[in-house]
Amino acid sequence: MPEFVSRIPEGDNRERLVCAGCGYVAYENPRIVVGSVIVQDGAVLLCRRAIEPRRGYWTLPAGYLELGETPDEGAAREAMEEAQADITIDGILAMFSIARLGQVQVIYRARFADPALPRFGAGAESLEVGLYAWDAIPWDGIAFPSVRWALDAWRHSGTGPLGAPFGNPSEDRRGVIRMAAAVEGGL
């Protein structure tokens, strides 16, 4: 098994994990999370998490982008996996930086592929799934600050064409405020 040491590789300016034997650099880069705010008749689809972290809390259908898929394909896959929902993507609603976790989150606005017959249900990673009007969203049970940010972006974007994607709130440009502080601060 190769031994990795932490050092600044030649031609670089950051400390990286480097194989002591062959010099291979094991880059650690941010991970991309994709998800969607799925809207039906003014209500948004939320999933109650069946997995950690934040089991039992509410989130949007979202997860890590897989190799070989585009971000919008990943968001559609996550909607199917977590909420058994076949969706149509309208466009990028928001892009968030969560520096403390090494994540970039791309959140789409979407709708059910068949709006006349919206189908959804709890997938393997969800305890339950439901459509919630703004005033009925379980705000005290939201899993992550970025879910709240995405819901705020949805509320402010309206139903028409999407403009430039929303970003982190001014109070947390780098995504470093943890959930307890974000809830107390109203994020």
> Hey, which residues does 38 pair with through a beta bridge?
110
The CA-atom distances, in angstroms, between 127 and each of 52, 55, 56, 120 are: 12, 9, 7, 13
Quote the number of domains for the chain. Answer: 1
Kindly state whether residue 71 falls inside one of the protein's structural domains: yes
124 within some domain: yes
| Residue 136 is assigned to a structural domain of this protein | yes
- The reply to whether 114 falls in a domain is yes
User: Which of 59, 44, 47, 57 minimizes the C-alpha distance to 133?
Assistant: 44
Confidence class of residue 36 from pLDDT cuts 50, 70 and 90?
very high
In a domain, 98, yes or no: yes
Phi and psi at residue 70, in whole multiples of 5°? -80, 160
- Domain membership of residue 82 (yes or no) is yes
At which residue do the structure tokens 């999370």 appear?
A: 33
Task: Give the integer Cα–Cα distance in Å for 3 and 21.
Answer: 7
Per-residue pLDDT reduced to its tens digit, 72-126:
999 999 999 999 999 999 999 999 999 999 999 999 999 999 999 999 999 999 9
In a domain, 18, yes or no: no
Instruction: Give the domain extent around 143.
Output: 31-184
Q: What is the CATH number of the domain that holds 167?
A: 3.90.79.10
Assess if residue 157 is contained within a domain: yes
